[in-house]
A and B are shown apart, each in its own frame.
Chain A
Amino acid sequence: MSLPVQLLWLIPALPLLAAGLGALTPRSGRKLASGAAILAMAGSFLLSCGALMTALADPAAHLVHNFAWLDLGEGVLRLGWLLDPLTAFMCVMVTFVGLLIFIFSTGYLHEDPNFTRFFCFLSLFAAAMLGLLVANSLLLLFICWELVGLASYLLIGFWFHKPSAAAAAKKAFITTRIGDLGLLLGMLWLYDSTGSLLFYDGGQGVLEATALGGLVAQTTIGGLAVSTAIGLLIFCGAIGKSGQFPLHVWLPDAMEGPTPVSALIHAATMVAAGVFLIARVYPLMAVDQGLATTPLHALTVVATIGAITALMGAMIAVAQDDIKRVLAFSTVSQLGYMMLALGVGSWVAAIFHLLTHAFFKALLFLGSGSVIHAAHHEQDIRRLGGLRGPMRITFVTFALGMMALSGVPFLFSGFWSKEAILHAAQGWNVSHLPLYAGLAAVVLTAFYMTRLVAETFFGSARSDEARHAHENSPVMTVPLVILAVCAILLGFIGTPAFPWLQSRLMGQTEVHGHSLFEGGGLMVLSIVLVAIGIGSGWALYGRRPRTTTSALDPIEKISPGLFGALRARFGFDELYAATVGRLNTATAALADGLDRYVWDGAVRFLAALGEFAGFVNKEADEDVLNGGFDATNDKIRGTARLYSAAQTGGAHGYMRTVAIGFVLLVLIVMLGGGL
């Protein structure tokens, strides 16, 4: 059974349908909403398996199906589906992990009044995430990219009556949107330069030689190749979505969402979308590698950010007390590993780690969810403890996940994928700093995971919630068991001796294995580091377990300053609030003040000027013009009165006047010399 690329849209369409159904289902239709969501996810899983069969038949091919979406006369926006091993592996992972988490959620949110809404949002997320994976167009990818952001927003804020959840949801959306604006600009630039946004289009796509050659040949600001600049802008989107330094601050807060959400979106799939994006546009990111004179290669930035994030996340995770926050910073750190792998040139190692991480991190989150559910929403590890006994299945599976994440050798998937990354970093010819950062993070990862397990499951119960905890129903434990099995077995598809996954991703049909111990020095070193991490963690937290909730952490005793800085997450939130936050407030105040005082002031001034003109006009009319008119009138009236006074009606008077007038006339004429 294989799925042709023309029908690839069915994979996201099924969950979308379920989401639409869920949106229209009333609150009472719980079975309908969850049933439709699970069924759709199962259907998508089967279709994804079919797509994987198709892709593996010819792993080197990029099967596409493109169509016009918006025709503007000149410039047709085209979208399309793309099927290659990268898409297919990702789809299988997302649908499989998603399916298990959907099933787990029916138990976890059993008592929630908004149960149907939850499955609506989960299905919406799945649809958008799968759409992102099958997109053959950066525009379609961007559309789905924003929609997963929306789903993430809705699910982080699912318990919206909690102010902290509502605030965390907004913070996540806004922080990722900062990165998305970079992605948007990169996309616009790419479109403007190449006239297309399709990845593969029979030689005309942006990831194909013609377009790439054009992009790398032009230079822009600072002597960068256009491809480098576009690549870095696109990487901004990945920084936001994948919680990379310096935009990682939203991811720990996102733990306000229900735990299945954290497992699906903020561990296994959505946050990995940034890694997927860079892997998808890898030809674009890497095309400037051939340039000798460029001041910067795009991938160097990727490697640097990844290395910083990997180390920083692992350090902060050491000092967190909330079981989910430890895992959240662990996710930040592991995503940093993947970026590091991309940056040093091994995108297949990044995707391998992405896939294995998805399983064991989903396992760990669901395990923590199982603990939280059993312990009546207690998530503080200082108040847990001793759960090993009452929650045996959760404990065993969680411990397996912990070992996979820590990189316990040979048996666990995390070991192999992490080794692949470290080897790639060792082979990077630019710098070995990422390798050292990665190795340091290996110790820290093993250490904080040991701390987490020891504090949660060992020792004695330190609160009533923990004392009354008991194992959950099979609907929650069975997914844990399945994920635990995958966390172990999945590693074997990518060992150095049998790099099946890597060769398929690279488009090869044959597997060229190496000796299992090739480059054994590094492997031995990392095994030793894992041992140091677990050993020291056990020594500090396992041998002498915490007895009271208020007891100081062993590291806090040793170095309170360092522990405080780590617990405060290096103060990034405070820093941003003091800088970006203030700038934002100031700009808003400026914009508002301009309106209230300057522009409106100018308008008021003009209005006042108008009123003044009116006043002057009125005064002029009344006093000058009208005044003059009145005065003339008065004079005329006065003259008239004078004249009328002269009209006495007496004949003598008249005659006298006539006589005087005659004499005067004669005099004038005579004196004038007229005669």
Chain B
Amino acid sequence: MTALLSLIVFTPWIGAAVLAALSSAKPGTVRAIALLFSLSTLGLGLFAVANFDPSRVGSQFVERHDWITALNVHYHLGLDGLSLILVLLTGIVTPVALLASWRVERDPRLFAALFLMLQGAALGVFLALDFFHWFVFWELSLVPAFFLIKLWGGPGATRAAYQFVIYTIGGSAFMLLAFAALYAATGTMDFIQLAQLGADGTLAQQLGAVGGWWPKAVFLGALLGLAVKVPLWPFHTWLPPTYAEAPTGASMFLTGVMSKMGVYGFLRILWPIFPTQLHGASGWLLWLALGGVVFGAFAAMRQTDLKRMVAYSSLNHLSYCLLALFAVSAATGQPGTTSVAAIAALSGTILQMFNHGLSAAALFYCVGLLEARSGGLRGLNDFGGVRTAAPIFAGLCGIALFSSLGLPGLNGFVGEFLIFRGVFGLAPWAAAVACLGLLATALFLLTFWQRVFHGPTGKVASSGFQDLSRHEILTLSPLIALMFVLGVWPQFLAGLINPLVTSWASRLVLP
């Protein structure tokens, strides 16, 4: 299959086009079509898994064609273990988010079409290997996200949508400039070529021709774009309002998939292309990541809006990913650094990305269910005793909460354990400080469960609160099932990224 990756990226867009053409389709048909097209990613992703050779390092199913020869731009797609895992995650989270949006009554056709556009753009980001169209996908993802938030969001949605888009574009603008500078210095925007230049130090030399500070400035530009996207603390203030105001399905996708685009960028672009500069900055970047881990968790404790609370927990969870990467980068070139710890940290990062996608999407869905049943309430203290009225809901939401707080036996633990194991080997003090985040996470997630589900039956729970319908159980069950499977058998994912991450350990030597 020579065009597998193009098929993965563009099938959702074809779906969006089909929906756009079907102007008179019934809502039921529209939803079914959208679900079908969004499921294509999972199907094709599993096909890719079946044909994927994990023992090979580097991209597979590569598609590389000349595109704009004058600018040396190529249409270049490729897939390695990291991309594959994120494709699978997109393939799982998007259909679930669409199922979660089944009740969207206002213009379901536009909603579904925007969602499929968003899905295709995210997949493009995970598979593109040339900055040119990578950036197109990167920016294009903002457009449907903007409209999804603004048109279907909560009362503050307009402001949140603008803030989200402007903030992200503001960051991306610096990244674009950085890549313009890279192109000016090297004549290429191909990630693989740039990574080679970065690895052997030529890139820094070529950039350094402009001035000694130029490589750093270019690095900072790229860093800024990615830091806003993840987000890295303190570039995160767009996140709580955006996640809180977005409609449930969009929140699920934003946190489940889009937040991974930033971490992916760190792993795919920033670290390989700027190893020396990242190493130089990793001292204070480690502190920023710790800030996200600790302050993210503590700020979550303070939130009374459940969606904002879950949003802050996302900040906390993604900061673990960055913590691991920065710890690896900080230890690069240091005497006594062992690749075993680095491999554990980086494997943990990738697993954490996947696991967070599952648990955060499930939690946003659960909050959405509370909102739908209470006529829009989602305050920490608006409920109480829901478990009495809805034991199945309480049970499934509890599983998602415990997955999120890293209970062993569920998926969240594996990634966090590997990250802590790796970070401890590379920067023990950082692991010790990050433990505070683990404690605070447990505290606010259990407070969530206690206030909403336990205690005497509150007003909402006592006025005809329904337990989950079959449709809702169906929506949640793939996520819950994966939490168990990956908690007990993480080797499935680890097997896909195994030699790749080991090869990354060769970057532990600075050029």
Take A72-B347, A74-B502, A75-B343 as given contacts and tell me if A590 and B425 are in contact as well, using a CB distance cutoff of 8 Å: no
- Assess the A178–B439 pair: CB atoms within 8 A: yes
How many Å from the CB of A338 to the closest CB on chain B?
Answer: 25
- Assess the A170–B344 pair: CB atoms within 8 A: no
Interface residues of B in 223-245 (CB under 8 A from A): 234, 236-238, 240
User: Is A659 part of the contact surface with B, judged by Cβ < 8 Å?
Assistant: no
Considering the chains assembled together, what is the distance between the CA atoms of A5 and B347 in angstroms?
32
Of A74, A167, A184, A192, which one neighbours B435 at CB under 8 angstroms?
A: A184
Considering the chains assembled together, what is the distance between the CA atoms of A70 and B347 in angstroms?
11
- Assess the B299–A592 pair: CB atoms within 8 A: yes
Residues of B within 8 A of A599 (CB): 234, 236-237
Q: Interface readout for B317-353 with A: 1 if CB under 8 Å, 0 if not?
A: 0000000000000000000000111011001000000
- Assess the B344–A75 pair: CB atoms within 8 A: yes
- Assess the B343–A595 pair: CB atoms within 8 A: no
Of A70, A139, A167, A592, which one neighbours B490 at CB under 8 angstroms?
A: A70
- Assess the A185–B409 pair: CB atoms within 8 A: no
- Assess the B421–A188 pair: CB atoms within 8 A: yes
User: Is B281 part of the contact surface with A, judged by Cβ < 8 Å?
Assistant: no
Of A144, A174, A591, A598, which one neighbours B442 at CB under 8 angstroms?
A: A174
- Assess the A147–B344 pair: CB atoms within 8 A: no
Q: Interface readout for B271-301 with A: 1 if CB under 8 Å, 0 if not?
A: 0000000000000000000000011101101
User: Is A177 part of the contact surface with B, judged by Cβ < 8 Å?
Assistant: yes
User: Is A163 part of the contact surface with B, judged by Cβ < 8 Å?
Assistant: yes
Q: Interface readout for B387-426 with A: 1 if CB under 8 Å, 0 if not?
A: 1100100010000001000011100011001101100110
Of A70, A150, A595, which one neighbours B299 at CB under 8 angstroms?
A: A595
Considering the chains assembled together, what is the distance between the CA atoms of A111 and B7 in angstroms?
59
Take A74-B502, A75-B344 as given contacts and tell me if A594 and B234 are in contact as well, using a CB distance cutoff of 8 Å: yes
Take A70-B414, A71-B494, A188-B431 as given contacts and tell me if A150 and B402 are in contact as well, using a CB distance cutoff of 8 Å: yes
Considering the chains assembled together, what is the distance between the CA atoms of A178 and B439 in angstroms?
7
User: Is A588 part of the contact surface with B, judged by Cβ < 8 Å?
Assistant: yes
Residues of A within 8 A of B440 (CB): 584, 588
Q: Interface readout for A162-183 with B: 1 if CB under 8 Å, 0 if not?
A: 1101110110011001100100
Considering the chains assembled together, what is the distance between the CA atoms of A635 and B495 in angstroms?
78
User: Is B438 part of the contact surface with A, judged by Cβ < 8 Å?
Assistant: yes
User: Which residue of A73, A157, A160, A603 has the most chain B CB atoms within 10 A of its CB atom?
Assistant: A73
- Assess the B424–A188 pair: CB atoms within 8 A: yes
User: Is B501 part of the contact surface with A, judged by Cβ < 8 Å?
Assistant: yes
- Assess the A70–B457 pair: CB atoms within 8 A: no
User: Is A191 part of the contact surface with B, judged by Cβ < 8 Å?
Assistant: yes
Interface residues of A in 86-140 (CB under 8 A from B): 117, 139
Residues of A within 8 A of B491 (CB): 69-71
Of A75, A150, A590, A591, which one neighbours B340 at CB under 8 angstroms?
A: A75
User: Is B450 part of the contact surface with A, judged by Cβ < 8 Å?
Assistant: yes
User: Is B447 part of the contact surface with A, judged by Cβ < 8 Å?
Assistant: yes
Of B299, B454, B494, which one neighbours A166 at CB under 8 angstroms?
A: B454
- Assess the A173–B454 pair: CB atoms within 8 A: no
| Secondary structure of the B contact surface, majority rule | helix
Interface residues of A in 30-50 (CB under 8 A from B): none
User: Is B455 part of the contact surface with A, judged by Cβ < 8 Å?
Assistant: yes
- Assess the B339–A74 pair: CB atoms within 8 A: yes
Considering the chains assembled together, what is the distance between the CA atoms of A233 and B439 in angstroms?
16
User: Is A600 part of the contact surface with B, judged by Cβ < 8 Å?
Assistant: yes
User: Is A589 part of the contact surface with B, judged by Cβ < 8 Å?
Assistant: yes
User: Is B364 part of the contact surface with A, judged by Cβ < 8 Å?
Assistant: no
- Assess the A191–B450 pair: CB atoms within 8 A: no
User: Is B456 part of the contact surface with A, judged by Cβ < 8 Å?
Assistant: yes
Of B296, B414, B455, which one neighbours A161 at CB under 8 angstroms?
A: B455
User: Is A146 part of the contact surface with B, judged by Cβ < 8 Å?
Assistant: yes
User: Is A428 part of the contact surface with B, judged by Cβ < 8 Å?
Assistant: no
Take A147-B409, A188-B424, A189-B424 as given contacts and tell me if A181 and B435 are in contact as well, using a CB distance cutoff of 8 Å: yes
User: Which residue of B409, B440, B447, B454 has the most chain A CB atoms within 10 A of its CB atom?
Assistant: B454
How many Å from the CB of A69 to the closest CB on chain B?
Answer: 7
- Assess the B234–A72 pair: CB atoms within 8 A: no
Considering the chains assembled together, what is the distance between the CA atoms of A191 and B301 in angstroms?
32
Residues of A within 8 A of B471 (CB): none
Considering the chains assembled together, what is the distance between the CA atoms of A184 and B421 in angstroms?
9
Interface residues of A in 595-630 (CB under 8 A from B): 595, 598-600, 602-603, 607
User: Is A352 part of the contact surface with B, judged by Cβ < 8 Å?
Assistant: no
User: Is A195 part of the contact surface with B, judged by Cβ < 8 Å?
Assistant: yes
- Assess the B450–A170 pair: CB atoms within 8 A: yes
| Residue of chain B at shortest CB distance from A145 | B408
Considering the chains assembled together, what is the distance between the CA atoms of A189 and B421 in angstroms?
8
User: Is B499 part of the contact surface with A, judged by Cβ < 8 Å?
Assistant: yes
Q: Interface readout for A51-88 with B: 1 if CB under 8 Å, 0 if not?
A: 00000000000000000011111110000000000000
- Assess the B299–A160 pair: CB atoms within 8 A: no
User: Is B498 part of the contact surface with A, judged by Cβ < 8 Å?
Assistant: yes
| Residue of chain A at shortest CB distance from B241 | A600
Residues of A within 8 A of B295 (CB): 590-591, 594-595
Take A587-B298, A591-B302 as given contacts and tell me if A147 and B408 are in contact as well, using a CB distance cutoff of 8 Å: yes
Take A71-B494, A161-B457 as given contacts and tell me if A603 and B167 are in contact as well, using a CB distance cutoff of 8 Å: yes
Considering the chains assembled together, what is the distance between the CA atoms of A150 and B420 in angstroms?
21
User: Is B368 part of the contact surface with A, judged by Cβ < 8 Å?
Assistant: no
Residues of A within 8 A of B167 (CB): 603
Take A72-B494, A170-B446 as given contacts and tell me if A157 and B340 are in contact as well, using a CB distance cutoff of 8 Å: no
User: Is A142 part of the contact surface with B, judged by Cβ < 8 Å?
Assistant: yes
- Assess the B388–A588 pair: CB atoms within 8 A: no
Residues of A within 8 A of B379 (CB): none
How many Å from the CB of B172 to the closest CB on chain A?
Answer: 15
Residues of A within 8 A of B302 (CB): 588-589, 591-592
Interface residues of A in 273-300 (CB under 8 A from B): none
Of B301, B435, B498, B501, which one neighbours A588 at CB under 8 angstroms?
A: B301
- Assess the A174–B443 pair: CB atoms within 8 A: yes
Q: Interface readout for B177-197 with A: 1 if CB under 8 Å, 0 if not?
A: 000000000000000000000
Q: Interface readout for B234-270 with A: 1 if CB under 8 Å, 0 if not?
A: 1011101000000000000000000000000000000
| Residue of chain A at shortest CB distance from B431 | A188
Considering the chains assembled together, what is the distance between the CA atoms of A23 and B435 in angstroms?
32
Residues of A within 8 A of B387 (CB): 160
User: Is B32 part of the contact surface with A, judged by Cβ < 8 Å?
Assistant: no
How many Å from the CB of A582 to the closest CB on chain B?
Answer: 13
Of B236, B418, B454, which one neighbours A160 at CB under 8 angstroms?
A: B454
Considering the chains assembled together, what is the distance between the CA atoms of A192 and B336 in angstroms?
12
| Residue of chain A at shortest CB distance from B303 | A592
Considering the chains assembled together, what is the distance between the CA atoms of A112 and B455 in angstroms?
17
User: Is A3 part of the contact surface with B, judged by Cβ < 8 Å?
Assistant: no
- Assess the A170–B408 pair: CB atoms within 8 A: no
- Assess the B450–A166 pair: CB atoms within 8 A: yes
Considering the chains assembled together, what is the distance between the CA atoms of A373 and B458 in angstroms?
29
User: Is B215 part of the contact surface with A, judged by Cβ < 8 Å?
Assistant: no
Residues of B within 8 A of A589 (CB): 302
Beyond the given A70-B491, A174-B446, A177-B442, could you list 19 further A-B residue pairs with CB under 8 A, ordered by the A residue number?
A72-B344, A72-B502, A146-B408, A146-B409, A147-B409, A160-B387, A161-B388, A163-B455, A169-B450, A174-B439, A174-B443, A188-B421, A192-B425, A584-B443, A590-B295, A590-B298, A591-B294, A592-B303, A599-B237
- Chain A residues with CB under 8 Å of chain B are 23, 69-75, 117, 139, 142-144, 146-147, 150, 157, 160-163, 165-167, 169-170, 173-174, 177-178, 181, 184-185, 188-189, 191-192, 195, 584, 587-592, 594-595, 598-600, 602-603, 607
- Sorted nearest first, the 7 A-B pairs with minimum C-beta distance are A166-B454, A143-B408, A591-B299, A591-B298, A592-B302, A73-B502, A591-B295
**Could you list 10 examples of A-B contacts with CB < 8 Å?**
A72-B501, A73-B502, A144-B408, A163-B456, A166-B455, A167-B450, A170-B450, A174-B443, A592-B303, A599-B234
- Chain B residues with CB under 8 Å of chain A are 163, 166-167, 234, 236-238, 240, 294-296, 298-299, 301-303, 339-341, 343-344, 347, 385, 387-388, 391, 395, 402, 407-409, 413-414, 417-418, 420-421, 424-425, 428, 431-432, 435, 438-440, 442-443, 446-447, 450, 453-457, 490-491, 494-495, 498-499, 501-502, 505
